[in-house]
């Protein structure tokens, strides 16, 4: 087939509309000639480029750096560059990736760089995806290796921890569902050394009264995804020693609820159970003794109180009156101590402090309590302030006891020449009682246990120190009302105990 030469595109047309960019620049990079294809790709008219812009100025920042550090030296040394991928910036700021080939020529005494470029958007996208995939694969590999390292360390630590804590591992065969025990379990059974123990042999060592319960719990854990196996039972060792063990474990199932893994731990808690039982016996004995002693002390104390009251009605000398008042004060303190001991006993044996709620005038109740304590502490300034109006629902006697304990505590630990302030408030959310004193703040490490029983202050004369039940009784009274109690203590703001009672 013959083609008319006149019908073919001319050389200039081929240059202008070639399927690639064709550029001629000076040695310095100034664009001397450029085809329409390049101008259309970047969105620039020719007149804006020819003689006005350098090729490297159309590159992105990374491309400009490459032009300076690699492009120029390579052309100087070898006179050409092949298949360099760079990004050009369009007139509207977009990036266009291109593959460039460059050749340097000398003609008519001048040096020119001839550049051809192809747009490689799809190739660029593919390369980016490959790079991302490679990076993700490398990250996954590194994470996997790190996980393996962590797993090895964790396994070593677990082994050390199990050995030091005298724990033993067991698991379940997913097919036969039979338990398999670590050889160290033999020591739990009274053997002198580690050895293989079968599931049947191990079961024979379990106390007969515990066997059915233990087997039922294990069977339930095998059949339920959410059921955790946990059982305390006794082992009768061949050495004649009965040991108590805590056996725990959890099963893992696949999406079809098929057993995949079941791992458990045996922990010898014989000493723990023995110490726990002994501690419970001691605590119960102590609380019973406190209850008995405090109850039996009331009768002789009542006789002492009645005797001092009768003596107080007689005509006495000033010295005798003083002795009677001392006896009355001592009897009052003893009665308070007995009441605290009884309240403590009730709280510790689980019944809690009993209350009887009724409609109460909070401000009047606290005012009366403060007035009574002014008689007990005649040398101290007690200030009572009120906020809000209305009544509250509470046990009035217990509130008076609470206020008395807090005020006595403030008097004991506060500065003698500064007042103790008692604030009772009625709010929309309930009512509250604040007791504030100035003085040495409560140590920070003491704040966490200030409401615990048998907690006493320090640096006080022996005759002013109590058994440390006052603040514990306060917290129990507040708890019985469904409220909360807190304390803040600083050198600048003083010490404030705050009891909040909801409606």
Instruction: Tell me the pLDDT tens digit for each residue of 178-193.
Output: 999 988 889 889 998 8
More confident residue, 384 or 10: 384
Mean pLDDT of 150-154: 77
| Distance, CA of 311 to CA of 305 (rounded, Å) | 10
Contact between 83 and 101 (Cβ < 8 Å): yes
- Helix 396-413 and helix 470-480: axis angle, to 10°? 150
CA 241-243-248 angle, 5° bins? 155
8 Å CB contact between 422 and 433: yes
Q: Tell me which of 257-266, 349-358, 370-379, 429-438 is least confident.
A: 349-358
pLDDT, residue 432, reads: 95
7-119 homologous superfamily = PAS domain (3.30.450.20)
- Dihedral sign of CA atoms 391, 392, 395, 397 in order: negative
Cα(143)–Cα(130) distance, integer angstroms: 20
**Predicted confidence (pLDDT) per residue in 34-67, tens digit:** 999 999 999 999 999 999 999 999 999 999 999 9
Helix axes 470-480, 318-348, angle to 10 degrees: 50
pLDDT of residue 263: 87
pLDDT at 457 over 60: no
Q: Alpha helix locations (H) across 349-441? A: 362-376, 396-413
pLDDT band at residue 149 under the 50/70/90 scheme: confident
* Model pLDDT, residue 122: 78
Q: In what order do the strands lie in the sheet with 167-172?
A: 179-181, 167-172, 259-268, 242-253, 228-236
pLDDT of residue 364: 94
pLDDT, mean of residues 169-182: 90
pLDDT at 484 over 80: yes
Look at residue 156 in the predicted model and tell me its pLDDT: 66
Topology, domain 358-502: Heat Shock Protein 90 (3.30.565)
Q: Is the pLDDT of residue 465 over 50?
A: no
Spans of all domains in the chain: 7-119, 165-268, 275-348, 358-502
Q: What DSSP string runs through 44-68?
A: --HHHHTTT-BGGGGB-HHHHHHII
Cα separation of 481 and 432, whole Å? 12
Is residue 207 pLDDT above 60, yes or no?
A: yes
**165-268 has which CATH code?**
3.30.450.20
Domains 7-119 and 165-268 share a fold: yes
Instruction: Output 299 or 444, whichever has higher pLDDT.
Output: 444
> What is the tens place of the pLDDT at every residue in 308-357?
778 777 777 888 777 777 777 677 767 777 777 677 766 666 667 788 99
Locate the DSSP E strands across 313-429: 358-360, 382-387, 392-394, 420-427
* Residue 453 pLDDT exceeds 90: no
Which CATH architecture does the domain made up of 275-348 adopt?
Orthogonal Bundle (1.10)
């Amino acid at each position: 087939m013959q083609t008319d030469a006149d019908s073919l595109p001319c050389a200039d047309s081929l240059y202008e509309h070639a399927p690639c960019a064709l550029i001629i620049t000076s040695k310095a990079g100034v664009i001397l000639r450029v085809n329409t294809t390049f101008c259309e790709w970047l969105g620039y008219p020719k007149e804006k480029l020819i003689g006005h812009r350098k090729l490297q100025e159309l590159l992105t920042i990374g491309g400009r750096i490459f032009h300076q550090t690699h492009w120029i030296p390579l052309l100087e040394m070898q006179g050409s560059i092949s298949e360099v991928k760079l990004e050009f910036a369009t007139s509207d700021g977009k990036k266009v990736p291109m593959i460039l080939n460059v050749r340097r020529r000398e003609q008519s005494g001048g040096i020119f760089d001839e550049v051809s470029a192809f747009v490689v958007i799809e190739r660029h996208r593919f390369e980016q995806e490959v790079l991302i995939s490679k990076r993700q694969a490398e990250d996954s590999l590194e994470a996997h290796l790190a996980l393996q390292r962590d797993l090895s360390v964790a396994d070593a630590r677990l082994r050390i921890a199990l050995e030091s804590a005298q724990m033993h591992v067991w698991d379940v065969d997913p097919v036969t569902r039979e338990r398999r025990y670590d050889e160290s379990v033999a020591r739990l059974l009274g053997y002198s050394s580690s050895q293989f123990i079968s599931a049947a042999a191990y079961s024979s060592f379990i106390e007969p009264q515990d066997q059915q319960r233990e087997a039922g719990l294990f069977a339930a854990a095998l059949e339920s995804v959410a059921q955790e196996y946990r059982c305390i039972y006794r082992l009768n060792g061949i050495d004649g020693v009965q040991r108590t063990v805590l056996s725990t474990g959890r099963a893992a199932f696949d999406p079809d609820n098929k057993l995949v893994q079941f791992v458990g731990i045996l922990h010898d808690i014989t000493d723990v159970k023995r110490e726990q039982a002994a501690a419970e016996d001691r605590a119960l004995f102590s609380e019973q003794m406190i209850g008995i002693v405090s109850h039996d002390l009331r009768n002789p104390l009542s006789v002492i109180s009645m005797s001092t009251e009768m003596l107080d009605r007689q005509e006495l000398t000033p010295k005798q009156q003083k002795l009677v008042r001392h006896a009355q004060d001592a009897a009052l303190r003893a009665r308070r101590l007995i009441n605290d001991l009884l309240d403590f006993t009730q709280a510790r044996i689980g019944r809690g402090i009993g209350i009887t709620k009724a409609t109460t005038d909070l401000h009047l109740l606290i005012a009366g309590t403060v007035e009574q304590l002014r008689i007990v502490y005649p040398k101290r300034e007690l200030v009572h302030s009120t906020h809000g109006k209305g009544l509250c629902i509470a046990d009035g006697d217990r509130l008076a006891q609470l206020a008395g304990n807090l005020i006595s505590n403030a008097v004991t630990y506060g500065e003698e020449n500064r007042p103790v302030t008692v604030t009772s408030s009625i709010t929309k959310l309930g009512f509250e009682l604040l007791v504030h004193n100035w003085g040495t703040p409560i140590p920070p490490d003491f704040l966490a246990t200030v409401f615990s029983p048998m907690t006493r202050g320090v640096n006080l004369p022996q005759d002013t120190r109590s058994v440390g039940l006052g603040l514990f009784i306060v917290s129990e009274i507040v708890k019985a009302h469904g409220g909360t109690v807190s304390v803040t203590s600083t050198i600048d703001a003083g010490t404030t105990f705050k009891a909040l009672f909801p409606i």
